[in-house]
Amino acid sequence: MVSGQDLQQYLHDHIPLSRAMGVTVRSVSAEGVTLEAPLAPNLNHRGTVFGGSASSLAILSAWALVHSRLRAEGLDSRLVIQRNTMAYESPTEGAFNATAALARPEAWPTFLRTLRRMGRARVAVVSELQCGGQRTGRFEGEFVALEAVRGPVSVDRPSPDR
């Protein structure tokens, strides 16, 4: 499994929004990834966390979980979000975190077999937002892993990445 420090560096280098939000990796394992962010760079006009920041942290934690697990399997796949829902349960008034887990851990072996055989596979992930030990939101999403790109990707042509 990738280390927390390596994952954080990867996020900051490849997803610049994570650096701007002040995202840090609190923990990473095969069972889950927890990311944290401070309030200050994520404020809205009401002095609470901006909904886009909350959603972004939840998506980042879910993406980071699948990314880390794929790396642990030796797979360098492109990983994109296909769909998601986000429920905001209460205002987030301080530093907040998002903990992601597979929605159905027992589906991981099938996901891997499908990816290896078909070059494309889909997996569901959930992430819980918390602030001060209280749940403030819940994310549910599906990610698609695609075979790694061979050679350079042109910025002039549309990319399937979102």
Alpha-carbon span 97 to 129, nearest angstrom: 6
Mean pLDDT rounded to a whole number for the chain: 92
* Percent of residues, the chain, with pLDDT higher than 70: 91
Alpha-carbon span 97 to 142, nearest angstrom: 20
Mean pLDDT of 91-102: 98
The pLDDT of residue 154 is 39
Prediction pTM value: 0.90
User: Which structure tokens are listed for 7?
Assistant: 């994952």
What does CATH list as the number for 4-146? 3.10.129.10
The pLDDT of residue 61 is 98
At 17-40, the pLDDT tens digits run: 999 999 999 999 999 999 999 999
Mean pLDDT of 53-80: 97
The pLDDT of residue 131 is 98
The pLDDT of residue 152 is 45
The pLDDT of residue 37 is 98
Q: Rounded to 5 degrees, what are φ and ψ at 86?
A: -135, 125
The pLDDT of residue 89 is 98
The pLDDT of residue 12 is 98
The DSSP secondary structure of 24-35, one letter per residue, reads EEEEE-SS-EEE
At 99-136, the pLDDT tens digits run: 999 999 999 999 999 999 999 999 999 999 999 999 99
User: Which contiguous run of DSSP H or E holds residue 86?
Assistant: strand 78-88
The pLDDT of residue 122 is 98
At 134-147, the pLDDT tens digits run: 999 999 999 999 98
The pLDDT of residue 57 is 98
